[in-house]
Amino acid sequence: MPEANLGHIVDASDQLGKEIGRRAVAAADGRAIHSYGKACVAGEYEYGNAFLTQVFADPVRAAVGGGKAWVPSTGKVAGPGAVIDVPLAHKDALFVRSHYDTVSVSFGDAPRPDQVVIAFAFASRGRLHARLGGVAADEIRGEYGLR
């Protein structure tokens, strides 16, 4: 029987967010992180979503330079070897079209029925040859990217 209250997962997820933020900055090796996204794969969807809240994302946002925009996310119920597309969007303004993208990932032996896989993806630039118009990343101003 699934737990009725997953608050204990949400409350503790900031520790996972801190570690993911630390690793992302280390992997970027001095390059600025421009976009990000998160995802979960689980045998029971609400367990995965318990990790994807603002409590989890805020330490990551702080680590990568205080992203002003919410972190796009997705999730699904699936078993080992499932592929999930992690959505990417600009960290400071969701409407910067050049940074809409996805990263497809799979985990060969996870998740098992009692496991949750959490993925966070990062990019140091927008899409190559992006030409959909809209606001450019260097035009972002003010809170939440508003001009």
Q: What is the pLDDT of residue 1?
A: 57
- What CATH architecture applies to the domain 7-145? 2-Layer Sandwich (3.30)
Burial-class residue 57 by CB neighbours within 10 Å (0-12, 13-18, 19+): buried
Domain boundaries defined on the chain: 7-145
Local structure of residue 1 (DSSP, 8 states): -
Give the pLDDT means over successive 10-residue stretches in the chain (147 positions). 84 96 97 95 92 95 89 95 95 88 94 92 88 74 51
Asked if residue 64 lies in contact with residue 122, where contact means CB atoms within 8 angstroms, the answer is yes
**What is the CA angle 103-105-108, rounded to 5?**
175
Q: What is the pTM of this model?
A: 0.87
Instruction: Compute the C-alpha angle 15/16/20, nearest 5°.
Output: 120
Place of tokens 């190559």: 128
